[in-house]
Every structure is written in C-alpha cells, then in structure tokens.
Amino acid sequence: MEFLEYVSRNAQQIIFLTTQHVQVVLLSVAVAAVIGVSLGIATERAPRLRRLLLAFTGTLLTVPSFALFGLLIPVLGLGLAPTVVALTVYAIFPILRNTVTGLETVDPAVVEAARGMGMNSWGRLRTIRLPLAWPVILNGIRVSTIMVVAIAAIAAAVRGPGLGELIFRGLARIGGANALNQALAGVVGVVLVALVLDLLFVLARRLTTPRGLRV
C-alpha cells in the first residue's frame, strides 16, 4: 500500500517519464524499421552482403547494453542522442531478419505468375511481395519494440530519457526513504509499457493484415 501511495504522490513525474520512455522507444524503432526493411530489400540481389549484415547486426545484440551506452558517450555525449542510436542499433536485427524471412516465404508461384504477366520488379515488390511479407515484418517490429522497451531503461546510465531514471535513482539510494518504491515504480512502468505496446501490435496486425490473407 505504501507503494501505491508513492505512485499516487509522484503520479505526474511517473506519467512524464513513461511518456518519454514510449516516445524514445517508438522513435528508435521507427528509425530501425526504415533501416531494417530498406536493408532487407536492398540486399536481395546480394545474398552475401545480406548474410554479412545479418551476422553483424545479430552480433551487436550480444553487446551488453550498459557497455554500448558507455561506448557511445565519447562520440555522442549524454542524453537523447546516444539513447536513440543504441536502441536503434539493437532494434535493427529482428526487423531485418523478419524482412528477409517475410520476403523469402512469399509463394514463388505468385511472383512468377506476376512476372509472366509483365509486372516489373518494383511492381512485384510493391503490390505483391511487401504486402504478403508484411505480417512477418510487423512481427519483427514488435519483437524489436518489446526488447527495446527493456533496454531503454538502461539509458538512464547516459542520462537518457525514460523510466530508467526512477530505477537508477532508487537503486542508488537503496535503504533510503521510498528508494525501493521508486525503483519498483520504474520496473512496473517498464513492464506495463511493454504489455500495452504488445497489445497495440496485436491490434495493428489485425488491422493491417490484408483481408485476403485472413479469410
């Protein structure tokens, strides 16, 4: 009950940080989606480069986030810039991976028939392959988003925006008044943000999956 009291007393700050958290996550994922989908499409005729990119972006995921944020300080300083860059770097891999998979799993007979009717490669991409790959790509974006919601909490280490601030502040003065409640508020906030975004993705998937695929 003490926790709820803490939350209600600090509601304004918590809401502000939550909003920031969501914003920085969505911004990073949006940038990553543009990069990931573009790379997935651009490397179609260069399978080696594509494998290389997948391996590279995949490896980046294994770099501990704390370390990556730290490494970016000398280049980008503190605050929003290193946060967005680091989160984007993490978010690229699932999106790129799913773009590749999505495009690969489009029924070749459909593409072949369209080619045989005189639809050029851009037309086939735009009217056939991307719409058919979209549910898979969207799933990649969803995975990235959920992952990055958690990582964004660490951004407070470089004075990034978001709920991480509550966690870091709380843990830094553990034992002090309301320290645990503060950290807990941050953690619960992160979990709730992840849950809500996940639900929104389920909805987005419903709304954007072409009707012919759902019948």
Partner 1 sequence: MSDSFGSTALRLDSASPPNDVMIKLEGLRKRYPGQSTDSVRPLDMEIRRGEFVVFVGPSGCGKTTTLRMINRLVEPTSGQIWIDGRDVTHTDPDELRRHIGYVIQQVGLIPHLTISQNVGLVPKLLGWDKKRIEPRVDELLDLVGLDPAQYRRRYPKQLSGGQQQRVGVARALAADPPVMVMDEPFGAIDPITRERLQDEFLKLQQRIRKTIVFVTHDIDEALKLGDRIAIFGESSQLAQFATPLEILSHPADDYVRSFVGTGAAIRRLGLLRVGDLEGAGGGAGAGPALRVPPETTVYAALEQMLDAGAARLAVDGEPGAERSLSLQEMLAAAARGRQVPS
User: Please, which of residues 29-68 interact with partner 1 by CB under 8 A?
Assistant: none
Residues 60, 61, 114, 188: which binds partner 1 (CB under 8 A)?
Answer: 114
CA distances from 213 to 106, 110, 116, 177 (A): 12, 14, 23, 55
Q: Does 172 bind partner 1 (CB under 8 A)?
A: no
Q: Does 215 bind partner 1 (CB under 8 A)?
A: yes
Which residue intervals of 61-107 are DSSP H helices?
A: 65-76, 80-104
Judged by CB under 8 A, which stretch of 25-33, 54-62, 107-115, 138-146 contacts partner 1?
107-115
Q: Does 207 bind partner 1 (CB under 8 A)?
A: no
Measure the CA angle with vertex 140, ends 139 and 141; round to 5°: 90
Judged by CB under 8 A, which stretch of 127-135, 153-161, 162-170, 197-205 contacts partner 1?
127-135
191-197: long-range pairs with CB below 8 Å, 24+: 192/18, 193/18, 193/21, 193/22, 193/25, 193/149, 193/163, 194/146, 194/149, 194/150, 197/22, 197/25, 197/145, 197/146, 197/149
Longest dimension (CA), the chain: 72
Q: Which is nearer to partner 1, 104 or 112 (CB)?
A: 112
Q: Does 212 bind partner 1 (CB under 8 A)?
A: yes
Whole-number minimum distance, CB 121 to partner 1, in Å? 9
Whole-number minimum distance, CB 130 to partner 1, in Å? 11
Angstrom distance (rounded) from CA 45 to CA 144: 25
Whole-number minimum distance, CB 113 to partner 1, in Å? 3
Measure the CA angle with vertex 208, ends 200 and 24; round to 5°: 40
Q: Does 204 bind partner 1 (CB under 8 A)?
A: no
Whole-number minimum distance, CB 104 to partner 1, in Å? 16
- Binding region for partner 1 (CB under 8 A): 107, 109-120, 123, 127-128, 131-132, 210-213, 215
